[in-house]
């Protein structure tokens, strides 16, 4: 065979293998390349990331943004529908990560094997009039199934859970991992970054600063009154009138509802959520790489309060969550908000735990 033709055919086989990974049960011969050996020429070393729910409203922009991240070497896209198209589309981007698509339950284990980070936006979105609790009956079962796959195929992976209601789905994931004997509280994180992103944006508007110049800690949970922005701890140091505090707190707590209503039945906060998820995933990858001083807010197993899970600032490192920081000094307004948050959080956490234990 002409060497030039051989190289051309080999490149075609490589691309085809990315888009349509062969079943492990199939024999691979001739010019066909197995998935294990299928790497893009010039692909840089990095981390292997899987997105579960990659064809959805959050999943697609999330996949695109993760394909742009130089810390990602392999990107697995899994969903129950439409992943071949999303994979083909994103694989054309001229960035280093190799993209592979996986479709349906039979390919879940293959999608998860060997992953360093698993991001889960899977589930149905909120619709007008729907609360995060309304999502529970549908999304709880989806998260349970996906986490059973993680426990079996990549138990050491960092898990970023986006699927709502996060206040309940994180406890569901923890219970699944406990049953499997793989639970590591350092490696399970509920993504509350969107609350922080909104808080930074809204506070910056009030202060007349750029959002990147502002840091607002947001603690508690990821729904309604459980979202507690600590406006007394904003950096740079500043002060607000009571009217501004009321406005900002309500705006941050109800930001998701505002988007759902503005989209009028066509979706929820998908684009800003994807941005926030990638921001948090990047922090996790930098922590895995060994970068110092990576601190973000996340809903994690915690001793900050009497509740088993709580969102607060955490230090990210090679093992996941290396330190959970205390809340720091709270003013009276925040102490009252904390008690309201804890009451609702306790019920949501128990709901998740009971779903798995029933």
pLDDT tens across the length of the chain (358 residues) = 555 555 555 554 544 444 444 444 332 233 233 333 334 444 457 999 999 999 999 999 999 999 999 999 999 999 999 999 999 999 999 999 999 999 999 999 999 999 999 999 999 876 777 776 677 888 999 999 999 999 999 999 999 999 999 999 999 999 999 999 999 999 999 999 999 999 999 999 999 999 999 999 999 999 999 999 999 999 999 999 999 999 999 999 999 999 989 998 888 899 999 999 999 999 999 999 999 999 999 999 999 999 999 999 999 999 999 999 999 999 999 999 999 999 999 999 999 999 999 8
Q: Report DSSP letters for 222-252, one per residue.
A: SSGGGEEE-GGG-BS-----HHHHHHHHHHH
- In whole angstroms, give the CA distance from residue 252 to residue 198: 6
Helix axes 83-91, 59-67, angle to 10 degrees: 30
Question: Which residues are identified as catalytic?
Answer: 222
What pLDDT, on a 0 to 100 scale, did the predictor assign at position 17?
47
- For tokens 């970054």, name the residue: 193
- In whole angstroms, give the CA distance from residue 56 to residue 124: 9
| In contact, 62 and 278? CB cutoff 8 Å | yes
What pLDDT, on a 0 to 100 scale, did the predictor assign at position 94?
97
- Greatest distance between any 2 Cα atoms in the chain: 79
Return the number of other C-beta atoms located less than 10 Å from residue 29's C-beta.
Answer: 6
- Of the candidates 93, 154, 92, the residue with the CA atom closest to the CA atom of residue 120: 154
Which residues have a Cβ under 8 Å from the Cβ of 85 and sit 6 or more positions away? 55
- In whole angstroms, give the CA distance from residue 321 to residue 122: 23
- In whole angstroms, give the CA distance from residue 114 to residue 185: 20
- For tokens 């549908």, name the residue: 138
DSSP 105: G
- H or E stretch at 159: strand 158-161
- In whole angstroms, give the CA distance from residue 286 to residue 192: 18
Which residues have a Cβ under 8 Å from the Cβ of 261 and sit 6 or more positions away? 128
- For residue 1, what are the CA distances in angstroms to 4, 9, 33, 34, 304? 9, 11, 18, 21, 67
What pLDDT, on a 0 to 100 scale, did the predictor assign at position 100?
98
**Which pTM was predicted?**
0.88
């Amino acid at each position: 065979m002409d060497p030039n033709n051989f190289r051309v055919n080999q490149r075609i086989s490589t691309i085809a293998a990315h888009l349509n990974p062969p079943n492990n049960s199939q024999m691979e011969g001739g010019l066909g390349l197995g998935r294990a050996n299928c790497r893009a020429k010039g692909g840089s070393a990095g981390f292997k990331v899987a997105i579960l729910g990659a064809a959805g409203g959050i999943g697609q922009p999330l996949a695109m943004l993760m394909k742009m991240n130089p810390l990602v070497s392999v990107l697995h896209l899994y969903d129950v529908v439409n992943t071949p198209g999303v994979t083909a589309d994103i694989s054309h981007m001229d960035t280093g990560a190799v993209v592979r698509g996986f479709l349906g339950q039979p390919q879940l284990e293959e999608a998860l094997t060997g992953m360093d980070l698993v991001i889960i936006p899977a589930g149905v979105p909120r619709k007008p009039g729907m609360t995060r609790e309304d999502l529970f009956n549908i999304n709880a079962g989806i998260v349970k199934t996906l986490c059973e796959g993680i426990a079996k195929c990549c138990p050491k992976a960092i898990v970023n859970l986006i699927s709502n209601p996060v206040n309940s789905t994180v406890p569901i994931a923890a219970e699944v991992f406990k049953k499997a004997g793989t639970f590591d509280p350092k490696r399970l994180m509920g993504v509350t970054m969107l609350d922080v992103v909104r808080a930074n944006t809204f506070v910056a508007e009030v202060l007349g600063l750029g959002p990147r110049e502002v840091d607002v800690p947001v603690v508690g949970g990821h729904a309604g009154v459980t979202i507690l922005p600590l406006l007394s701890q904003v950096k740079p140091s500043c002060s607000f009138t009571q009217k501004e505090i009321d406005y900002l707190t309500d705006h941050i707590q109800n930001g998701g509802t505002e988007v759902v209503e503005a989209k009028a039945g066509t979706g929820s906060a998908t684009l800003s959520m994807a941005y926030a998820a990638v921001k948090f995933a990047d922090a996790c990858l930098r922590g895995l790489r060994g970068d110092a001083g990576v601190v973000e807010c996340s809903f994690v197993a915690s001793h900050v309060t009497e509740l088993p899970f709580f969102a607060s600032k955490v230090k990210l490192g090679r093992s996941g969550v290396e330190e959970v920081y205390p809340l720091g000094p709270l003013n009276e307004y925040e102490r009252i908000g904390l008690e309201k948050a804890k009451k609702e959080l306790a019920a949501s956490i128990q709901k998740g735990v009971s779903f798995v234990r029933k």
